[in-house]
Amino acid sequence: MKSLLSSQPSLPTHITEPRTSLSRSEVTSSLRFYRDRWIGRKRCGLTLNAVLDPATVGQFGISESEFVNPAVSTSYRSSRLPKPNQTVLDAQARVCTGPTQTKPLNEDQAFKVFDTILRSARGKLKDEEQVSKAQLGAFFAAMTIRANAFPEATQWSEGEKHAMSNFWPHLVRALPSDVIFVADPEGSIMGVGSSIGPQYVGNGTNDMRLVGALREVLAGGHLGYEEVQGVLRDVLPLNVEDNKCSSGVNETLLSAFLIGQRMNRETDRELKAYCLAFDDQFGLAPVADVRSLTHYGEPYDGNTRFFRSTLFVAAVRSCYGESSLLHGVEWMPPKGGITEEQMLKFMGANTRLTPLQAKELLEDEELGFAYISQREACPSLYSLIGLREHIKKRPPLATTEKVQQFVKVGHVVYHYVDWHICYPYIQMVLFSSSRTLCQAIN
């Protein structure tokens, strides 16, 4: 890391200007191989673009404001994204999770959270202090599912019950009807305002489908493959302007849906729907003419506590004739950690390749390595980044995006995937859905 931060580069620096229209001969990779050694490919001997020195900065006209510190991953967070209310976000970290991991709030914590929500609903909190619609949807969805479906140990604590009985008569007069629906969809939990939830149908056809699916999710139930795909295709991509969702999508309902499905522990058919909902957004995935292809699917939200080695492992394997494809994003909540895209951008790489351009790099005998950003390959899912920060915990997409195949191959496919101990069977089901020979390497 010292070599990355040093003002004097210890490794050769090679910068590639970003280009908007690239032919096969013009497509540039994040890595270059030279004829120093022969290991499987025609050219090898890896040279990384380690540091942008002052001369390089002047040559390419890069302003100091465009620099980000690769050791501080939060510096990659877009300033256009509105920040969530921290008090409610901390509460979401405790209650928006699974039936055994949830940590109920004590009385002091619950009173503080509900007081914050009430003051925000009454317009007494401004800017970043406001509780967002997505936060309200996620928090109250968690409270509802815990009351309806969780085991006794993770249902409402006595402190939460006391706080709710004190605040709900005031909240029901201040909160919009969609939030009241999420908090008490069948009118069986709160008592006061119990007629709003059962009668709520939303606004428009998109809301109607989402409300119908939510009734099942908030009761602790599961959905079919077609139901999940229908909801996702109705609401995505989000069109966010001026920190507000302008595509007519109800953020309260969508955030409740996403976190609710995760809290109920998704079935294999539900996760398969997330995995394949936008598989054909730009048509069929290109097929690379290579002997084998390894997909590297690490968590998109990066690493914060240990070294992120996948990029270097993939580069070395490509030197030995094993074509390697990485995919991810620059920055993703909840961790907001170091990602491959951050490292590649710091080294001067082009991180805006389309799947077709990536296919050409994989077929190039001098390279055999490529990186695809979700921003280019699946903008519908990429549009959820801001919402995902406000629901705090990982949604079902955090599992399925790791096994996406943006470039396919007609022979052997390997997956190097961050293996989640809670989802071993489901992850194997997702691998098998690709209809190719898949092997979990991690």
Question: Residue 247 — pLDDT band, cuts 50, 70, 90?
Answer: low
Burial (CB count within 10 angstroms: exposed 0-12, middle 13-18, buried 19+), residue 38:
exposed
SS3 annotation, 52-80: CCHHHHHHHCCCHHHCCCCCCHHHHCCCC
Mean pLDDT of the chain: 81
Which CATH number is 2-52+283-432 given? Answer: 3.40.1030
Which residues have CB under 8 Å from 342's CB, separation 6+? 68, 70, 73, 76, 302, 330, 331
Number of neighbouring beta carbons within 10 Å of residue 7:
7
**413 strand-pairing partners:** 293
Residue 76 and residue 70 in contact, taking contact as beta carbons nearer than 8 Å:
no
Interval 420-433: pLDDT, tens: 545 554 555 554 54
Residue 330 and residue 339 in contact, taking contact as beta carbons nearer than 8 Å:
yes
Is the pLDDT confidence value at 268 over 70? yes
Is the pLDDT confidence value at 154 over 90? yes
Take residue 24 and report the two structure tokens written for it: 């096969």
Smallest CA-to-CA distance from 376 within 278, 258, 229, 293 is with: 278
Residue 60 and residue 341 in contact, taking contact as beta carbons nearer than 8 Å:
no
Distance in angstroms (rounded) separating the CA atoms of residues 253 and 89: 17
Which residues have CB under 8 Å from 56's CB, separation 6+? 13, 15, 62
Which secondary structure element, helix H or strand E, spans residue 335, and what is its range? none
Question: Residue 238 — pLDDT band, cuts 50, 70, 90?
Answer: confident
What pLDDT is stored for residue 135 in this prediction?
98
**414 strand-pairing partners:** 294
Q: What share of the chain is helix, strand, coil (3-state, %, to 5)?
A: 45, 10, 45
Take residue 242 and report the two structure tokens written for it: 């001026």
Distance in angstroms (rounded) separating the CA atoms of residues 139 and 113: 10
Interval 198-210: pLDDT, tens: 999 998 877 899 9
Is the pLDDT confidence value at 309 over 70? yes
What pLDDT is stored for residue 191 in this prediction?
75
What pLDDT is stored for residue 343 in this prediction?
93
Interval 280-298: pLDDT, tens: 777 789 999 998 899 998 8
Strands (E), 281-440: 287-288, 292-297, 323-328, 369-373, 408-409, 412-417
Question: Residue 55 — pLDDT band, cuts 50, 70, 90?
Answer: low
Question: Residue 195 — pLDDT band, cuts 50, 70, 90?
Answer: confident
DSSP letter, residue 347: T
Interval 333-380: pLDDT, tens: 999 999 999 999 989 899 999 999 999 999 998 889 999 999 999 999
Q: Between 434 and 206, name the one with better pLDDT.
A: 206
Question: DSSP labels for 230-287?
Answer: HHHHHH-S--EETTEE-SS--HHHHHHHHHHHHHT---HHHHHHHHHTTTTBTBSPPE
pTM of the model: 0.82
What pLDDT is stored for residue 237 in this prediction?
87
What pLDDT is stored for residue 206 in this prediction?
75
Is the pLDDT confidence value at 442 over 60? no
Take residue 138 and report the two structure tokens written for it: 């996620």
Q: What are phi and psi of 39, to 5 degrees?
A: -135, 85
Question: Residue 240 — pLDDT band, cuts 50, 70, 90?
Answer: low
What pLDDT is stored for residue 416 in this prediction?
64
Interval 88-144: pLDDT, tens: 999 999 999 999 999 999 999 999 999 999 999 999 998 779 999 999 999 999 999
**270 strand-pairing partners:** none
Over the range 222-232, which residues count as b (16 or more CB within 10 Å of their CB) and which as e? ebebebbbbbb
Take residue 150 and report the two structure tokens written for it: 């969780």
Domain residue spans in the chain? 2-52+283-432, 86-265
Over the range 118-144, which residues count as b (16 or more CB within 10 Å of their CB) and which as e? bebbeeebeeeebbbbbbbbbbbbbbb
What percent of the chain lies above the pLDDT cut of 70?
A: 74
- Which range of 73-87, 155-169, 269-283 scores highest in mean pLDDT? It is 155-169
What pLDDT is stored for residue 68 in this prediction?
62
Of the candidate ranges 72-86, 206-220, 297-311, 427-441, the one whose mean pLDDT is the lowest:
427-441
Take residue 174 and report the two structure tokens written for it: 């201040």
Q: How far is CA 179 from CA 18, 46, 117, 139, 166, in A?
A: 45, 54, 11, 10, 18
Q: Between 58 and 281, name the one with better pLDDT.
A: 281
DSSP letter, residue 229: H
Question: Residue 193 — pLDDT band, cuts 50, 70, 90?
Answer: low
State the Cα angle at 353 between 310 and 404, rounded to 5°: 55
State the Cα angle at 166 between 162 and 171, rounded to 5°: 125
Provide mean pLDDT across the span 2-26: 36
Is the pLDDT confidence value at 251 over 60? yes
Interval 386-415: pLDDT, tens: 999 999 999 999 988 988 889 998 766 676
What pLDDT is stored for residue 327 in this prediction?
95
> What is the number of residues in the chain?
442
Report the phi/psi class of residue 261: left, alpha or beta, with left for phi > 0 and alpha for psi in -120 to 50: alpha
